[in-house]
């Protein structure tokens, strides 16, 4: 599995590779937790690439409801259909007493349905990877609805009936821990904790994304990044920041990280005023020394 993921540009550690393998074989959803920017979203994308499946993504946010996650009726289109029918005198609903309920049902047909990510993943004829990103941003009510969909792999639409999955999606849920998820959801899922990678893996990841950066430079960069992560920062630099830093260093033509370079580029990896102060005080800006002659 690690090999397959590496082929599509994702360098998984042992636990990520194992959980991914188990998820595909057991057909269970995976709950991926960990700090920001450690590759949670990217893992789902990589699994889709590796398996040749389409990726369907549901980006969660506060207030996300069924209408945006599952399906909703296209009222505009329904209204237009009613008006068009009324104009030609064949309206199914303009004279409901004669036309009856059967005709009203015409505007609750599939062509008037707006399919949202969850339903799309369930209804897809080919198996997909379903990424439910940042589930912790939604509320418990939404989680309960999700649980139902994930355990039955079916969606019940009162006006249409039950839509059952023909194929099962591979489901990944990610969370940044902004709230504790319910036990019921955790029970349903395999669990993967993604953390900052060790130095060797981080070097590999950076070199993959910023191949122009020299090995020695990247090694030094990772050393500094992990020292910065040791500090008690509001927002420690993630892999995304490491990659950005390597690219920035290449762009400004730096082949070493001395005081001046560090000071000039620190804002690429540290993005809070108080964090900047802490880094300046504890790590450097005066302690790294000058570049060679």
Q: Closest residue (Cβ) to Mg ion?
A: 41
Residue 150 and residue 185: Cα distance in Å, rounded?
9
Q: Which residue in the set 18, 36, 114, 231 belongs to the binding site for ligand ATP (CB under 6 A)?
A: 36
Q: Which of 54, 50, 63, 60 is nearest to 7 (CA)?
A: 50
Q: Closest residue (Cβ) to ligand ATP?
A: 39
- Say whether residue 236 binds ligand ATP (CB under 6 A): no
- Say whether residue 11 binds ligand ATP (CB under 6 A): yes
Token pair 């599995």: residue: 1
- Say whether residue 176 binds Mg ion (CB under 5 A): no
- Say whether residue 19 binds ligand ATP (CB under 6 A): no
- Say whether residue 37 binds ligand ATP (CB under 6 A): yes
Q: Interface mask (CB under 5 A) for Mg ion, residues 18-57, using x and -?
A: -----------------------x----------------
The DSSP secondary structure of 38-72, one letter per residue, reads: SSHHHHHHHHHHHHTPEEEEEE--TT--HHHHTEE
Query: Hey, which residues does 154 pair with through a beta bridge?
Result: 164
Residues 175-234 that bind ligand ATP (CB under 6 A): 176, 205, 208
Q: Which of 190, 193, 192, 209 is nearest to 201 (CA)?
A: 209
**Least Å from the CB of residue 128 to ligand ATP:** 19
Q: Which of 27, 70, 4, 1 is nearest to 169 (CA)?
A: 27
Q: Which does 42 bind (CB under 5 to 8 A by kind): Mg ion, ligand ATP, none?
A: ligand ATP
**Taken in order 201, 202, 208, 211, is the CA torsion positive or negative?**
negative
- Say whether residue 39 binds ligand ATP (CB under 6 A): yes
Per CB under 6 A, residues contacting ligand ATP are 9-12, 36-42, 176, 205, 208, 239-240
């Amino acid at each position: 599995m690690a090999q397959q993921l590496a082929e599509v540009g994702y360098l998984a550690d042992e636990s990520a590779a194992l959980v991914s393998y188990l998820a595909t074989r057991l057909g269970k959803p995976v709950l991926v937790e960990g700090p920001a920017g450690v590759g949670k979203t990217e893992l789902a994308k990589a699994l889709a690439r590796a398996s040749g499946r389409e990726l369907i993504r549901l980006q969660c946010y506060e207030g996300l409801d069924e209408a945006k996650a599952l399906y909703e009726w296209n009222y505009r289109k329904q209204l237009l259909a009613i008006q068009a029918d009324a104009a030609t005198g064949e309206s199914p609903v303009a004279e409901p007493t004669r036309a009856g309920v059967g005709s009203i049902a015409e505007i609750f047909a599939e062509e008037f349905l707006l399919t949202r990510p969850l339903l799309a993943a369930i209804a897809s004829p080919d198996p997909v990877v379903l990424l439910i990103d940042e589930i912790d941003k939604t509320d418990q009510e939404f989680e309960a609805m999700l649980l139902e969909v994930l355990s039955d792999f079916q969606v019940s639409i009162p006006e249409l009936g039950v839509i059952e999955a023909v194929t099962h999606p591979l489901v990944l849920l990610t969370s940044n821990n902004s709230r504790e998820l319910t036990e019921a959801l955790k029970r349903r899922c395999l669990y993967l904790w993604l953390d900052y990678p060790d130095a060797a893996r981080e070097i590999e990841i950076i070199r993959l994304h910023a191949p122009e950066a020299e090995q020695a430079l990247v090694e030094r960069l990772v050393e500094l990044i992990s020292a910065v992560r040791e500090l008690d920062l509001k927002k420690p630099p993630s892999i995304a920041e490491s990659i950005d830093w390597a690219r920035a260093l290449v762009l400004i033509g730096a082949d070493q990280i001395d005081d001046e370079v560090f000071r000039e580029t620190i804002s690429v990896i540290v993005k809070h005023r108080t964090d900047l102060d802490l880094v300046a005080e504890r790590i450097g800006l005066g302690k790294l020394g000058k570049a060679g002659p």
